[in-house]
Homo-oligomer: A and B are copies of this chain.
C-alpha cells in the first residue's frame, strides 16, 4: 500500500502513513496534538486544519463546518479527511489541543525545575547484589538506590508489595523498576517489577463533570496525550443537576448507585482508551480526577448531604490519596487516585484545576477565571491572593429551564444571527435542529434585543409584525426554527419566560463577578486576563456575551476561552507532583465569599436583570 508523508506546521513534525489514514491519526503519530472533542465522529468541528500543500478532499458532511472561502483555502476536518498524497498541514491556533499560552506556560515552569516529576514515577534500579560486607535488608537496598536517584526521602511500602519483594529482586538479579508516588513528606513505593518497565507508564486525567465525564490517557514519561474520550455522566438518570443527585444519594441506599454510575463511566473510558491504543490497563498506575465538590464526593462515595443544606458543609475539601481499585476503578491494582481538592461546597476541584491551568497563582498580574454551568464559579487572584465565589445560575445555559433548551450536542442550535430581518442559525454537526444550547440562547437574546424584538427589560415588543412572533396563552414566543425545518417537526421557539430565566442566569453570573470585584476593591480594567472555562465556552460568542451583560465589558482580547480547564489541571497534576502540591496550596489559600445571604450580591443581582444592565456605564461598548 502506498505511503505518504504528512508534515504538520508550525511545529514541523511529520509522520509517514499508509494511504487512507486520517489526518487526525497522522497527527497523533507525529506527536502533534489537535482538538478532538467528539472523538473523531466529525460532529464537534474542533479539528479544523488547513492543507497548505498536497491534495486532500474534504468529507461532504464536514464541508458544512467551513465557509466557501475557507474551503477554497484548504480547510478540512482532520478526523474526516483521508491521506492520499504527501501533505503539508497547518494547525491553526484554535485547533491545537490546549490553548497554546497555558500549555507553554506550564511546560516552561516544569522544565525550569529540571526533570519532570510525575505523580507516579517509574524508576529503573540496577542494584549491586548483597554481600557479607553489604547485607542490608532488601527494602533498604531499594530505598538506598531510590535515594541516589531521587533524593533523600523516607520511602514507605505497602505490606503486599513488601511480601513479594524478596523474590522479585532475586528473580531479576536485583534489576527492577520501582513505581513511587509522593505521599505526605515522603514517597510510597507502589510496585516493584522485575526488569526495566519504564517504557510502559501511563496515567489518566479525568474531568468528572456533572454532565460529561472526559478522560485523557497520558504517557507519563513524556507528557504526551495519547487519547481523549468523553461520555455523558451516567448519574444523569438520578437527576440532571447536582442538587437532585445529592437528594437521590442521600435517600436510603441512594449513595451506592450514584457512586457506581460514575465509576462505570470511568471504566468505560479506560476501556475505550486502552483498547484504542492497545495498551494494558495494568500499565496505568496513576489517575487524577477533578470535579466539583459534589462530583468529587460521589466519585469517592462520600455522603454529599450537607453540601445542599445551609451552612453548606462538605465532608472533605482535601481528599485522601487512595488506591483507585478501592472505588472500583480498573487500572493497575496498586495504581493511585488523587482527587483534586475543593475550596468549598460550591467551588470544587474543577475550579482549583482551572486556576492551576491558567497559572493564576504564578503571576503578579490579576487574572480571573469563570466557569459557566448550572453554577457560575468565579476565581480572581494573582501570586499573592486568591478569592472565589459561586452563584447559582440555574440550568438555562446548560439547556435546562427553557422550553426548547438542550445540551450542546448534535442538532443543537449554537449560533443565531438576525440580519436585515432575516434569521439564520447553525446547528452542531449541521444536523436538523433539535433545540437551543447555551451559546445559541445567548446569541438569541442578543439578536432579539439588538433588533428591537425584545426590550432591555426582556419583554417582547408585542406590537411587532413578525411571522416568527406569536402570543400563545398570553405569553409571547418567537420561532427560531419552523416546524418543517426541525428534526421532530415541532417548531423551536423561545418564550418570554425563557428570556426571563436567561436574564436571571446571566444576571446571577454577572452579579457574582461584580460582587467579588467590589469585595476585593478592584475595577474591571485592573484584570489583565479573563479566562472562560466550560465545554460551553468553546462555542461562546464573546461580543454577544458581553453585549447581553453576561461577561464584563473589557477588551475582547483580554478574554480567553480555555475549554476544559478542569481536565488540563488534572493532567498537569498527573504530570507534576509540584503542580499537585500547588493545587493543595490553591485549595488552602483561596478565600471563598459565600454569596447566599450576602446583601451586596442581592443588590447586584437585581441591578443585572436588564440588558445589558441597569447601569449602562458598566457596558460602554454596548451600542444597541
Residue positions of A touching B, CB distance < 8 A: 130-132, 134-141, 154, 156-159, 162-163, 165-167, 170, 184-186, 300-303, 305-306, 310-320, 322, 326-327, 342, 344-345, 594, 596-597
Are A306 and B166 neighbours in the complex by a CB distance under 8 Å? yes
Q: Is the CB of A313 within 8 A of B156?
A: no
- Rounded to whole Å, the gap between the CB of A322 and the closest CB of chain B is 5
**Interfacial chain B residues near A344, Cβ < 8 Å:** 135
Taking the closest CB of chain B, its distance from the CB of A296, in whole angstroms, is: 11
**Which of chain B's residues have a CB closer than 8 A to the CB of A317?**
136-137, 139-140
**Residue numbers in B under 8 Å from A326 (CB-CB):** 159
Which residues of the partner chain B approach A322 to less than 8 Å between Cβ atoms?
A: 159
Q: Which of A135, A156, A186, A301 has the most CB of B within 10 A?
A: A135
- Collect the chain B residues with CB atoms within 8 Å of residue A141's CB: 313
Whether A138 pairs with B185 at a CB distance below 8 angstroms is no
> Closest residue to A161 on the B side, CB-wise?
B320
Residues of B contacting A302 in the complex (Cβ-Cβ under 8 angstroms): 162-163, 166
Instruction: Give complex CA distance A130, B315 in Å.
Output: 12
The residue in A134, A138, A300 that gathers the most chain B C-beta atoms within 10 A of its C-beta is A138
CB distance from A624 to the nearest CB of B (A): 40
Q: Which listed residue (B131, B139, B184, B596) contacts A316, Cβ 8 A?
A: B139
- How far, in whole Å, are A185 and B183 apart by their CA atoms in the complex? 11
CB distance from A163 to the nearest CB of B (A): 6
Q: Would you call B135 and A156 a contact (CB within 8 A)?
A: no
Is the pair A315, B159 in contact by a Cβ cutoff of 8 Å?
no
Set of chain B residues within 8 Å of A313, measured between Cβ atoms: 130, 135-138, 141
Contacts of A139 in B (CB 8 A): 315-318
Number of copies: 2
Residues in B whose Cβ lies below 8 Å from that of A305: 166
In Å, the complex CA distance between A133 and B320 comes to 26
B315 touches A166 (CB 8 A): yes
- Check A315–B137 contact: CB distance below 8 A: yes
Inter-subunit contact B320/A166 (CB<8 Å): no
CB nearest neighbor in B for A337: B159
Q: Are A135 and B185 in contact (CB under 8 A)?
A: no
Does A132 lie within 8 Å of B316, measured CB to CB? no
> In the bound complex, how far is the Cα of B594 from the Cα of A397, in angstroms?
74
Q: How far is the CA of A170 from the CA of B140 in the complex (A)?
A: 45
- Smallest distance from the beta carbon of A131 to chain B beta carbons, Å? 5
By CB atoms of chain B within 10 A, which of A132, A137, A318 has the most? A137
B132 with A303: CB separation less than 8 A: no
Query: Which single residue of chain B is at the shortest CB-CB distance from A138?
Result: B315
Instruction: For A312, give its contact among B135, B158, B303, B342 (CB under 8 Å).
Output: B135
A163 CA to B256 CA, complexed, in Å: 12
Specify the chain B residue showing the minimal Cβ separation from A345: B135
Leading 8 A-B pairs by shortest Cβ distance: A135-B311, A132-B311, A137-B317, A139-B316, A166-B303, A185-B185, A166-B315, A130-B313
In the complex, what residues of B have CB within 8 A of residue A301's CB?
159, 163
Instruction: Establish whether residues B156 and A320, one from each chain, have CB atoms under 8 Å apart when the complex forms.
Output: yes
Q: List 11 other contacts, CB 8 Å, given A135-B594, A157-B320, A165-B316.
A: A132-B597, A135-B345, A136-B313, A140-B318, A162-B300, A162-B316, A162-B320, A166-B303, A166-B306, A166-B315, A185-B185
Q: Which residues of B contact A137 (CB under 8 A)?
A: 313-317, 342
Residues of B within 8 A of A130 (CB): 306, 311, 313
| CB-defined contacts of A315 to chain B, threshold 8 Å | 137-139, 162, 165-166
Of B140, B167, B303, B312, the contact of A167 (CB 8 Å cutoff): B303
Q: Which residues of B contact A135 (CB under 8 A)?
A: 311-313, 344-345, 594
Q: Inside 8 A of A132's CB, which chain B residues have their CB? A: 310-312, 594, 596-597
CB distance from A133 to the nearest CB of B (A): 8
